[in-house]
Amino acid sequence: MDKQDIKNLKKRYLVWFYKQTKEALDKIDRKFSQVEVDQFVLKEIRKLDTNDQAGSFIDEFKAYIQQKQKNGLDLKYQNGKVKPEYLFLSLKLAAIEKVVTKELGKPALSEIKETYEKEMIKRILEEREQKL
């Protein structure tokens, strides 16, 4: 194998490794970003429901948000401290990003991150289309 073949193999492995680790970390972190968005949406719904006609639905949504927040906290923390599994995933992702930068350069890391985000958005949009 020549140098380019080896570089390509490393790149493919690093892309896969990044994706696997980032997805695992995102499963936890997204709970917190979703709760933040959900709370804003809840606040806006309450403002818009001037006649208080959606009360039971608002209550259900609030309970849903509270459960999501609890789930996120349970996934990330234990006894008030960050869970070792979460810490490990965070450290692992940072290490992978460092290796990508060392092996392939900073532009490659940016490309991998951008490609990952595009793929996640594509999956979301395709999923929604199938459910309609």
Q: What is the pLDDT of residues 13-43, one digit of tens each?
A: 999 999 999 999 999 999 999 999 999 999 9
Domain ranges of the chain: 3-131
pLDDT band at 130 (very low <50, low <70, confident <90, very high): low
State the DSSP H helix or E strand holding residue 47, giving kind and residue range, or none if neither: helix 3-48
Q: Which two tokens stand for residue 48?
A: 């818009």
Task: Look at residue 48 and tell me whether its pLDDT is greater than 80.
Answer: yes
**Dihedral class, residue 127 (left if φ above 0, else alpha if ψ from -120 to 50, else beta):** alpha
Confidence at residue 127, expressed as pLDDT on a 0 to 100 scale: 83
pTM of the model: 0.85
Q: Which amino acid is at 89?
A: L
128-132 mean pLDDT: 58
Contact present, 72 and 31 (Cβ < 8 Å): yes
